[in-house]
A = this chain, B = another copy of it.
């Protein structure tokens, strides 16, 4: 590859819409270009990195006995209707009508199609286990595509699916995938944490995410020193035992003027009704948060979440908990339709089973007042200070189970650093990460819906047990860029770099260009991938800046030093430089690349 003809132009300015380093640098270095929101075109260098990542993924999938197939992206609606996902995916699905008005979709994932294909081909327990995979373009109409390749609407995924006769088989297939993913990310040099996760739209009994720890990640996860790790959506709050409320007097309403917030309420409580043992804190108050939910079919419903006043509702935990419904902002109209909800002073007495039956307000037809769900910490016997449903009034000593109940439990309060791990393995710490893989023990959800069964040893039909396993190829590329780049540009590790050595000829001396070309040829003949900056009229400064921006692992600079018999080997990641005679430089590069695992001729 020669810079003089390579289809590449580097940009000095960050693209206006880019917030994160990988996005800025991949665009500036000419690896990708935006075609539409969340939709990117791949330029030559980007495509080379992508191909290298895909090759590693394929090798490790093949190594666990997975077989590669390839499904269409454009699929008929019917299989997705059979599993309910045509509706569940809601507006996240790109939907297409063909010229005969038949419904199609651009597939976000292919559980249905793999299930049907296996049903089509296999019929006996002897055919199992089977693991099938594809590396394929996926579509998801994200509400907020962002961060370049990290949350796109058209992206490349490796998705695989396992088919087993029973749970033990699934466990083995799941373990194989877990191992393959570990080897893939290790080979790619990408840090990861495996965390317990929610299955979400996929369904199934159990799932784990592979997260690349990274400040700009969209996922928050927790871990304890004792080894617990989970996506924040999947953290189950430890439930305290029921408490004895026999010593607590009857609830009493107090005037608390101008206390619409937890802080003002706590201050007022300590003034109006000071406790003997200790002051009131936010943790003594019960906050009732109103949210609006929209079902996949578009029905809107209000929900009130009751939780200790020292905790916020975590938006992601809430989204995961109410899936497939989506969370929407509440509006003035919502409150107008529910005059019993007095903002700042909402209490349980008018909510859920405590409220008046108001069938006309419920879209789910269940009758009763606005649905009311409680944080798991609000166990029977706990006493709370909470709203009295009248402006400027709160109620004290309102005891859960005695004075109010709820429609159920919802575990959506924020998880905080220092919270106890659910398995008792110590306090939690929080971090952010990019989801680079997600593995699901699906069980029989899809096999049942699409009637995939095989005959067992006794000739009896048995529903097949499935797993599904996703790995975001384009997202992995972005995560590597994110974790390896610096303020000067990209800095690819050897296994995924678009080429291994950037040979730069600087200055105007023809001898420099001749030597540079000869060294590039020598490296090339060893099997080293070379990008040669042969541009005749470009300054050394521009060449250095471009080289740092493009981020090949090593640069070989042939310039003024050549007159003194030396060239320079530059290490992109460390910034190290070595001056060596030309032939020693080639030998040094061979040594470095071989050390990084490359097999050269």
B35 and A72 contact, CB distance less than 8 A: yes
- Report which of B68, B98, B117 forms a contact with A47, defined as CB distance below 8 A: B68
A33 to B104 CA separation, bound complex (whole angstroms): 18
Q: Is A202 an interface residue (CB 8 A)?
A: no
CB distance from A484 to the nearest CB of B (A): 22
CB distance from A31 to the nearest CB of B (A): 11
Q: Is A261 an interface residue (CB 8 A)?
A: no
Q: Is A598 an interface residue (CB 8 A)?
A: no
CB distance from A295 to the nearest CB of B (A): 16
Chain A residues 77 to 97 lying within 8 A of chain B, measured CB to CB, are: 91-92, 94-96
Residue of B nearest to A39 (CB): B72
A5 and B94 contact, CB distance less than 8 A: no
A72 and B40 contact, CB distance less than 8 A: yes
A33 and B68 contact, CB distance less than 8 A: no
Q: Is A132 an interface residue (CB 8 A)?
A: yes
Residue of B nearest to A118 (CB): B7
A41 and B6 contact, CB distance less than 8 A: no
Residue of B nearest to A79 (CB): B35
Q: Which residues of B contact A153 (CB under 8 A)?
A: 74, 98
- Report which of B6, B47, B92, B154 forms a contact with A74, defined as CB distance below 8 A: B154
- Give the total of A residues in contact with B, Cβ under 8 Å: 50
Given A44-B69, A70-B47, A96:B99 Cβ within 8 A: no
A121 and B7 contact, CB distance less than 8 A: yes
Cβ proximity bits A515-557 to B, threshold 8 Å, 1 near / 0 not: 0000000000000000000000000000000000000000000
Residue of B nearest to A105 (CB): B96
Given A9-B121, A41-B117, A94-B98, A139:B74 Cβ within 8 A: yes
Given A5-B65, A70-B42, A35:B98 Cβ within 8 A: no
- Report which of B33, B50, B130 forms a contact with A117, defined as CB distance below 8 A: B33
B141 and A7 contact, CB distance less than 8 A: no
Cβ proximity bits A56-76 to B, threshold 8 Å, 1 near / 0 not: 000000000101111111111
Stoichiometry, as copies per complex, reads 2
A67 and B35 contact, CB distance less than 8 A: no
A113 and B42 contact, CB distance less than 8 A: no
A120 to B7 CA separation, bound complex (whole angstroms): 11
CB distance from A128 to the nearest CB of B (A): 10
B73 and A154 contact, CB distance less than 8 A: yes
A348 to B120 CA separation, bound complex (whole angstroms): 60
Q: Is A354 an interface residue (CB 8 A)?
A: no
Residue of B nearest to A44 (CB): B67
Q: Is A16 an interface residue (CB 8 A)?
A: no
A72 and B5 contact, CB distance less than 8 A: no
B76 and A36 contact, CB distance less than 8 A: yes
B94 and A69 contact, CB distance less than 8 A: no
Q: Is A237 an interface residue (CB 8 A)?
A: no
Chain A residues 248 to 279 lying within 8 A of chain B, measured CB to CB, are: none
Q: Which residues of B contact A7 (CB under 8 A)?
A: 67, 69, 121, 130, 132
CB distance from A103 to the nearest CB of B (A): 11
B47 and A69 contact, CB distance less than 8 A: yes
CB distance from A173 to the nearest CB of B (A): 14
A96 to B8 CA separation, bound complex (whole angstroms): 31
B137 and A73 contact, CB distance less than 8 A: yes
A41 and B69 contact, CB distance less than 8 A: yes
Q: Which residues of B contact A104 (CB under 8 A)?
A: 36, 94
Question: 27 A-B Cβ contacts within 8 A?
Answer: A5-B65, A6-B67, A30-B121, A33-B117, A36-B74, A36-B75, A36-B76, A36-B104, A39-B74, A39-B75, A41-B69, A41-B71, A42-B70, A42-B71, A43-B69, A44-B68, A44-B69, A47-B69, A50-B70, A72-B154, A73-B73, A73-B137, A94-B98, A96-B96, A96-B106, A98-B153, A99-B141
- Other than the known A7-B130, A73-B73, what 19 A-B pairs have Cβ atoms closer than 8 Å? A6-B67, A8-B121, A33-B117, A35-B71, A35-B75, A36-B75, A36-B104, A39-B72, A41-B70, A42-B69, A44-B68, A44-B69, A50-B70, A73-B137, A91-B99, A94-B98, A94-B104, A96-B106, A99-B141
9 nearest A-B pairs in the assembled complex, by CB-CB distance: A42-B70, A91-B99, A9-B121, A36-B76, A7-B67, A39-B72, A41-B71, A72-B154, A44-B67
